[in-house]
A = this chain, B = another copy of it.
Amino acid sequence: MPKYVYRFDEGGREQRDLLGGKGANLAEMTRLGLPVPPGFTITTEACRATMRDGRVPPALRVEVTTALREVEDALGRRLGAPLDPLLVSVRSGAKFSMPGMMDTVLNVGLTDASVPGLAAASGDERFAWDSYRRLVQMFGATVLGVAAGAFDAALEARKAAAGATADVDLSAADLRSLVDDYRAIVRAATGRDFPQDPREQLDLAIEAVLGSWNTERARLYRRRERIPDDLGTAVNVVAMVFGNLGDDSGTGVAFTRDPSTGRPGVYGDYLPNAQGEDVVAGTRNTLTLDDLRERDPRSHAELLAAMRRLETHYRDLCDIEFTIERGRLWLLQTRVGKRTAAAAFRIAVQLVDEHLLTADEALARVTGEQLGRLLFPRFDAAAATPLTRGLGASPGAAVGEIVLDNAQALERTQAGADVVLVRRETSPDDLAGMIAAVGVLTARGGKTSHAAVVARGMGRCAVVGAEALDVDHERGEVRVDGTVLRPGDVIALDGTTGEVFRGEVPVVDSPVLRYVADGLEAGLAAAPDDDAAELVRAVHRLLTHADTVRRLGVRANADTAEDALRARRRGAEGIGLCRTEHQFLGERRVHVERVVLAADDDERRSALAALLPLQRDDFTALLEAMDGLPTTIRLLDPPLHEFLPDLTELSVRVALAAERGEAPGHEERLLAAVRRMHEQNPMLGLRGVRLGLTVPGLFALQVRAVAEAAAGLHRAGRDPRPEIMVPLVGSVREMQLVREEARAVLAQVADETGVTLEVPVGCMVELPRAALTAQRIATQADFFSFGTNDLTQTTWGFSRDDVEGAFFSEYLENGVLTISPFETIDADGVGALVRTGVERGRSARPGLPCGVCGEHGGDPESIRFFHDVGLDYVSCSPFRVPVARLEAGRAAVVPAEDTGA
């Protein structure tokens, strides 16, 4: 038969599954000999049995009796006895914290008979009646299901009758009458009296707390947090101690280090003559722990000793709830304390210096997500009221003049202004404006819309999907809730919270960003104070340690030499993805139009040839920036028609021109081509390798540009290391054809230039079929790079542009998704294909280099996954490189099971 009840001195912190987090830590403190009020924990197994059987297990009642008697004996008091009664609290406590989701009942044991005893023992009749009326209220609402509003109304009525403005103005007699009012409410609502049997109170409270595991609210919370429904909660029954029995009593919260800055030294709040809820409510000004030392040196010393003991024991920052009852210290709760990102780094490093942690353990204590937070500038305070709010898509803080298009953006930035690009939504056409701007704001799109993805890639602050915005490009204005904004008006974006402000809001720079971008000296120079400088040093130490232990390489996704240099400064060991799309944008579009409209092969060839010197220059700059490091260049991926005007817009223009009797011109010719090339689902259309195999000369042009650029650099004494990557491969034959063509061009250029370079030609694995047939494709590929963006789209069958807005919020709400699979890799589906691809690819070609270049390459949880499946490197946006370095290090030192991965 299972044991349903554990006294605090029977358990320990390793028993979180059975005792819940709170119970396990209470037992641990008891085991350490710290002053914890006596009590016991009812196990999660009792909760599971209750759920299963639809009733509390009969054995539980007996075990509660035994445990309760031991508490009574320890204290020499009895539950609800007329003289000096023992009161208990009944609190939930699950394995994973579910703050505010489940029930608590305090002061259990008070009855008509024991109130006088409590009054006598405490010497405070008002306190006794106040405690009683709190019990009736809490018990009525929580255990008996009486609507809470009824009690509030009665309290207000009683205060009015007594001429009192605050609760504390009510006298003992008032409170006694209020108890009568409350009990009448209970009787009216439930048809029964508030129970006068202390044990009945206890049993009903336990049952209610067990049952609160399965409220609709709790289930919804768990679904969102991915906490399994079958864990159950534990219940902690603890002898009540009171911090509100006079000036020698009090209550407080303490941290073993400052959880905000990470500064060493204890930190806490203390409120004399108060209960815990008064601290939380924040209605009275709290004192510091130094004040406590002056008021009660003995308790203070005892508290500090306990804190030192706990920190040493847990080897981490602890937070503690304590109560002093008439000069006697009681610890009511402890746990490893939550902290800011800055504190996490500083504390981890301090504990290494104090010989409490190894460097590996310290690395495990910080996360890439925390480092990411430290990199972004922020608004100083919520000094301003937001004008509206969207999705925080790319963190940071940006203040600038509104611009509505590329031309305005360039004009104003050349005039020295900071600008924020505001668009209904963005497209590749807006790239110039996005580059020029300090921030991007769109009315439409989700967290992985074009604007969001590109902005994150550039580390540019972005707020997207601010639906209240009416961006009227025609009139050149932006309307929001009656306000009209025009180009030149200043707005501010918070890329973390998604808030949009009108006018300037002060911004603070991040010294950590300066550090990762420009090195330790620059970071320290940018630090405004000692805390910031210590933080920079802590980040430096842990990041450096991560570099020494990680197995995964870290590359960057960068399309230009500028991005590449930025990535390199941040520690990138190569380029994992250079998209060549931008080489066909802007003024070069005219060449694409010529290719598309070409009447014959000659015309097309000459249109392509015109692009050769331009692309060669692009690649020369890029390879020069990455001198000595591998640089993976992806051949053209998007459908050609993406470089042409939009079908609908062009149709309308041509129709209107015809209506106005204008002569058919270039646009009409173009429309025919656009119509011909229009695709219902361009994502699934003529793109990637398909384009290369159907537009003669296109890939050869790109390969030639790469080869000529590399040869030129080599002759100039440099060490260019290009790698050519073929996108959207689904079958080995595609790869074979393109690789043969590429190798022929490479050989030809080697002949022409006399420079022979080994240029690997590899495969982007971004279709399920590529992963499933990887053993064949590997025979024709020098490397694999998993394109997890497209792989996610095809594996799930949704396009991120089309569905994020349409149903992601719904799907997050109902628990189908807990996070966008475009943010963190879907290990069960997409990840299974990555694993298959790696295994099958290496089965055919042992040691096949494998990397990832989807957005997931910069996501902490995903990096852990990629480490586990044995990839050689991740590639991410330059901005995410330090995060990836840190996480790659953590993956190497934290065993997989500790992360739940």
Query: Do the beta carbons of A690 and B794 come within 8 Å of each other?
Result: no
List chain B residues, Cβ under 8 A from A659: 656, 659-660
B799 pairs with A684, CB closer than 8 A: yes
Q: Is A772 an interface residue (CB 8 A)?
A: yes
Q: Is there an interface contact between A682 and B684, defined as CB atoms closer than 8 Å?
A: no
Return A348 CB to nearest CB of chain B, in Å: 36
Inter-subunit contact A797/B730 (CB<8 Å):
yes
Which residues of A656-694 are within 8 A (CB) of B? Answer: 656, 659-660, 679-686, 690, 693-694
- Among A81-104, those with CB < 8 Å from B are none
Q: Which candidate, A51-59, A112-120, A810-818, is the interface stretch facing chain B? A: A810-818
Q: Are A769 and B681 in contact (CB under 8 A)?
A: no
Is residue A749 within 8 Å, beta carbon to beta carbon, of the partner chain? no
A693 to B690, CA, bound (A): 35
Interface residue from B684, B766, B807, B830 paired with A683 (Cβ < 8 Å): B684
Is the C-beta of A734 less than 8 angstroms from some C-beta in chain B?
Answer: yes
Nearest Cβ on chain B to A692's Cβ, whole angstroms: 10
Q: What is the size, in residues, of chain A's interface with B at 8 Å between Cβ atoms?
A: 57
> Is A733 an interface residue, CB under 8 A from the partner?
yes
Q: Does A793 interact with chain B (Cβ within 8 Å)? A: yes
* A793 close to B684 (CB less than 8 A): yes
Q: How far is the CB of A108 from chain B (nearest CB, A)?
A: 38
Complexed CA–CA distance, A776 and B827 (Å): 14
A239 CA to B27 CA, complexed, in Å: 101
Complex contacts, A121 vs chain B, CB 8 Å: none
Which one of A34-42, A600-608, A646-654 contacts B?
A646-654
- Cβ contact within 8 Å between A802 and B769: no
Nearest CB on B from A291, distance (A): 52
Chain A residues 767-820 with CB under 8 Å of chain B are 767-769, 772-773, 776, 790, 793-799, 801-803, 806-807, 810-811, 814-817
Any B CB within 8 A of the CB of A301: no
Partner of A795, one of B790, B794, B802: B794
- Chain B residue nearest in CB terms to A769: B829
Does B681 contact A734, Cβ atoms closer than 8 Å? no
Residues of B contacting A768 with CB < 8 Å? 768, 794-795, 797, 829, 833
Give the complex CA separation of A655 and B733 in angstroms: 47
Q: Identify A656's interface contact among B655, B682, B737, B826, CB under 8 A.
A: B655
CB distance B690 to A803 under 8 Å? yes
Question: Does A730 contact B814, Cβ atoms closer than 8 Å?
Answer: no
Complexed CA–CA distance, A826 and B826 (Å): 25
Tell me whether B685 and A806 are in contact (CB under 8 A): yes
Q: Which residues of B contact A801 (CB under 8 A)?
A: 680-681
A587 within 8 A of B: no
Residue A294 is within 8 A (CB to CB) of chain B in the complex: no
18 A–B contacts, CB within 8 A, in A order: A648-B651, A659-B659, A659-B660, A679-B806, A680-B683, A680-B799, A681-B681, A682-B802, A683-B684, A684-B793, A684-B797, A685-B802, A685-B806, A686-B802, A690-B807, A768-B795, A769-B796, A772-B833
Residues of A bordering B, CB below 8 Å: 647-648, 651-652, 655-656, 659-660, 679-686, 690, 693-694, 728, 730-731, 733-734, 737, 766-769, 772-773, 776, 790, 793-799, 801-803, 806-807, 810-811, 814-817, 826, 828-830, 832-833
7 smallest CB-CB distances across A and B, nearest first, come from: A684-B799, A769-B829, A685-B802, A679-B802, A681-B799, A767-B797, A768-B768
